[in-house]
Amino acid sequence: MQHENTDKDPDLRKKSDVEADAALLPPKPKWWQARWVLQISPLVAFAVLVLAGWAGLSLFEWWAGEGSDGAAAGAWASAFGATALAIASVWIAREANKQARAAEQRAEIEADRTEKRHETQMRVAEKRHESELAAANARADRQMKAEDRREHVRIIGAVGEAINRITEPSVMLAQRVDELAAGRPESSEQIVSELYSSWALKVFDIKFTISKANMVVDEEVLRSHLMDMTVRIDQLQRLGKNIKDAAINHKIANMTEEFTAALIALINKQEELSVATWKLFRPSPAPTPSHT
């Protein structure tokens, strides 16, 4: 019921809010804890001390008689001076301790700030070092990949050049073998033998270039093409020797069809190798600038 009235009446709601805020505030200090009391306490104590000294002096005069005024005054003055000196010494010691504690606190705060500042600088330097190290590693990785790409492209290009160098001599060898087998005067055993010797050297050059490529290339797709090319060049080498021997020894015509087909298959495989190399190592497109 009280909550319902509070919700309906704005004055009651304000009063409840005030009471709630007051509950959160710290309790009010007692009268002897007030700031003005603490400020005048030393003066009150001093005044009480003076009054106590005067009262004691009067009491001593009354008890000792009039003739002892000077001695009593001196005694009470000495007592009052000693008491004041003791109070001053205590106050000075207290202030010195307070200043020493304040200096220690300031030193601790400054040391803590210095340590935090040092830790912050260390974290910043560590992050900067990590960033620079990551950037250096990224640059080194890009350089290694670029060098690897250039080496792959170079060695695969060398294989293609070696195959291109054997294409025309292979066609010439097949033509002279057919002419020799057919008994045509354009060819002879000496011409066929010389052509075959030159052609065989180019075949060895291809096989050597492919073996070097196998030592460099680490991509499985390219290595598969190179292995297939090795099989095909071995087949072409065997067929070239067969047609040369058959033409010289037996004069059998129409022997070069299989040899020519093996040559065409080798050329096609070399083109497939070039395309696979381009797909793997083609340059990445340049990033387009953002219009923001």
Q: At residue 138, does pLDDT exceed 90?
A: no
Q: At residue 2, does pLDDT exceed 50?
A: no
Q: Which of 95-104, 120-129, 161-170, 226-235 has the lowest mean pLDDT?
A: 95-104
Q: Which of 39-53, 90-104, 117-131, 173-187 has the lowest mean pLDDT?
A: 39-53
Domain ranges within the chain, ordered by starting residue: 143-281
Higher pLDDT, 233 or 69: 233
Could you tell me which residues come within 8 angstroms of residue 69 by beta carbon, excluding any fewer than 6 positions away? 61
Alpha carbon of 111 to those of 96, 100, 114, 116, 125: distances in Å?
A: 22, 16, 5, 9, 21
Backbone phi and psi for residue 264, each to the nearest 5 degrees, phi listed first: -65, -40
What pLDDT is attached to residue 6? 47
Q: What is the C-alpha to C-alpha distance for residues 21 and 19, in angstroms, rounded to an integer?
A: 5
- Class of 143-281 per CATH? mainly alpha
Residue found by looking up tokens 């400054």 in the block: 110
The amino acid occupying position 99 is: Q
CB 210 within 8 A of CB 230: yes
Q: Which of 13-22, 71-80, 106-115, 144-153 has the lowest mean pLDDT?
A: 13-22
Smallest CA-to-CA distance from 174 within 187, 160, 190, 164 is with 187
Q: Taking residues 267-287, what's their average pLDDT?
A: 80
Please report, rounded to a whole number, the percentage of residues in the chain having pLDDT higher than 90. 24
Q: What is the mean pLDDT of the chain?
A: 76
CB 80 within 8 A of CB 53: yes
Q: At residue 90, does pLDDT exceed 60?
A: yes
What pLDDT is attached to residue 1? 47
Q: At residue 21, does pLDDT exceed 90?
A: no
Q: In this structure, how many other beta carbons lie within 10 angstroms of the beta carbon of residue 166?
A: 23
